[in-house]
Amino acid sequence: MNDAPAAPALRPWHAFQFRDFRFIWATGLLAVMSQWIRILVMAQWLFEATGSAAQLGLIGGVQLVVQIPALLWGGAIADVLDRKKVVLFAQLTTCSVFLMLGFADSAGALQPWHVYIAIAATAITQMVGQPATAALVPATVPERHLMLAVTTVTATQNIGSIAGPLLFAGVAAFAGVTEAFFVGAAVTLPAAFLPLFIRVAGRTENATTGSMISRVWEGFRFATRHPILPGLFLLDTGITVVSFYREILPVLAKGFFKGGAGAVGVLGAANSAGAVVGSFVALFLADFRAKGMLVLFASMAYAIFLFGFSAMNTLWLGAIFIALIGAADSVTVAVRMTTVQLTTPDNMRGRAYAFLVLVAQTANNIGTLWVGLWSEVIGAQRTMLMGSFLAMGATLLIWRLWRPIREYRG
């Protein structure tokens, strides 16, 4: 008979018991706020300076060109170099770019081409810093607390994605866009140095050797041969491609509710609020061992809520359902990230995270194209209705065919 006492139940705040986690958590919060200030202040300056929506659209082209190679390279260096110093370099570079733009704008010397270079540089530093930050998280808590830690970081990102835009809006409205550059620098600077206070080693043991290209290829082979990760990537892709809505909220607001910018704002805020709530729900599920089934349940809930949203014709009901969609999506993100961290050796975590983000971003971009084109052909409501059935089908298919996900216990 085993008389060993049962481990105490985990509580949502238990990850904060660990000193090193508190530092990486604060780093992540400030980094997300900095990212949103960067996105908004550069876009706002360009639009005010040029008045051209087309020039604003070039931001997406610039980021598309630099982000994919930067992300793959960032995952590789996170598994070779000291991750704390990688974060330091990435955030210091972003801080320096903010300062240069602020001083140039103050002197009346800032030009659009300067801003495009700054966008490219900060998109690169963001993609380089993210895998290193994510790969540090498992070292800051015991394995049993890892889902709590990852989910807390996810919740923090959702909160930061609200706090950053609000901070930018307040500074821009009451002081000006120029001052927002300096506020961005002030938010970014602590994110550079906080990881240096983490006591655990920042450099992984047993780092692989070879060129960066060979390390990226090694990470790709690991991800594709992993028993669980390809199924999770396919599940995310199958759902996201047929239903990604964030970039085309104006189309949904008009097609569903005959609304304009106000309706877009309501839907966007509801989705973000739902994502925050979903993150906290995931915190309470940290002790749920069948994490593979949990991501399948959450994916099916996403598809069902999407079906409900597709039937709505009043804005307040639509806001409720899009909040539920955001909550279900947030749970799947937390579980996928936790599974990557739990099932990946430390010397591969940077690259595994990079491929997770790469798959998600690619699915988002294809999904935006899919939903936009189908909305033009058959209408927004029918497109989302079709997406709900396809998302259910994708979930059931992975559920049936990918046995390691069904059986995974974390």
Q: What is the pLDDT at residue 5?
A: 53
Q: What is the pLDDT at residue 394?
A: 93
Predicted confidence band of residue 44 (pLDDT cuts 50, 70, 90): confident
Residues 401, 231: Cα–Cα separation, whole Å: 9
Neighbours of 247 (CB within 10 A): 15
> What confidence tens digit (pLDDT) does each residue in 136-182 have?
888 888 877 777 787 788 777 777 877 887 788 788 878 888 898 99
Terminal Cα-to-Cα distance of the chain (whole angstroms): 25
Q: Give the contacts of 317 (CB within 8 A, at least 6 positions apart).
A: none
Q: What is the pLDDT at residue 12?
A: 62
Name the phi and psi angles at 11, rounded to 5.
-115, 155
Query: What secondary structure letter does DSSP report for 5?
Result: P
Predicted confidence band of residue 1 (pLDDT cuts 50, 70, 90): very low
Q: What is the pLDDT at residue 95?
A: 95
Pull the structure tokens for residue 70: 């930067």
Return the SS3 of 379.
coil
CATH architecture of the domain covering 14-195: Up-down Bundle (1.20)
User: What is each CA distance from 304 to 264, 270, 299, 310, 382, in whole angstroms?
Assistant: 22, 17, 9, 10, 15
Instruction: Tell the CATH superfamily of the 218-407 domain.
Output: MFS general substrate transporter like domains (1.20.1250.20)
For the chain, give the mean pLDDT. Answer: 83
Burial class (CB in 10 A: 0-12, 13-18, 19+), 349: buried
Query: What secondary structure letter does DSSP report for 404?
Result: H
Instruction: Count the alpha carbons within 13 Å of 93 in the hemisphere toward its beta carbon.
Output: 19
Residues 257, 249: Cα–Cα separation, whole Å: 11
Return the SS3 of 10.
coil
Return the SS3 of 311.
coil
Domain segments of the chain as ranges: 14-195, 218-407
**Cβ pair 184, 98 in contact under 8 A:** yes
> What confidence tens digit (pLDDT) does each residue in 263-279 have?
776 777 788 788 888 87
Residues 71, 362: Cα–Cα separation, whole Å: 12
Give the distance from CA 230 to its chain's centroid.
19
Pick the closest to residue 370 from 250, 255, 252, 244 (CA basis): 244
Give the rounded percent of residues in the chain with a pLDDT score beyond 90: 21
Query: What secondary structure letter does DSSP report for 344?
Result: S
> What confidence tens digit (pLDDT) does each residue in 311-360 have?
888 888 988 998 999 899 888 888 887 788 778 887 787 888 788 888 88
Pick the closest to residue 284 from 319, 321, 331, 320 (CA basis): 331
Plot region of 348 (φ>0 → left; ψ -120 to 50 → alpha; else → beta): alpha
Residues 391, 373: Cα–Cα separation, whole Å: 18
